[in-house]
Amino acid sequence: MVNISEGVRRKGWYLFRNKRVKLDLITPKRMHFIVKGETEEHFVEYDKERNEWSCDCKYWSLKLRWCSHIYACWLWLREKNRIIKRRLEQV
């Protein structure tokens, strides 16, 4: 996993825990999310082939580092993968 500041982790956890992440669209190459931030919605994209994330927020645009919106989507995706894995183990 990438190096993420504690503040970004806390805010991302808050967004994830409060169900502010919504999967918007899945294509064969990408996943698109909408994250409801404190004041506006942000659009996050995950490129499955490159294993790369991007976001339309200022933090990402200026620093090109994971923002809280990307971290929240990553947590959401990790949780969904765990649920799927548990269900497959029950079969």
Which residues are within 8 A (CB) of 82 and not within 5 positions of it... i.e. 6 or more apart?
none
Tokens of 24: 């918007």
Q: pLDDT tens-digit profile of 14-64?
A: 999 999 999 999 999 999 999 998 889 999 999 999 999 999 999 999 999
CA 46 to each of CA 11, 32, 88, 89, 90: distance values in angstroms, whole numbers, following the listed order? 19, 6, 24, 27, 29
Of residues 71, 24, 17, 62, the one with CA closest to residue 43: 24
Collect all residues with Cβ–Cβ distance below 8 Å to 41 and sequence separation of at least 6: 34, 35
Residue 91 reports pLDDT greater than 70: no
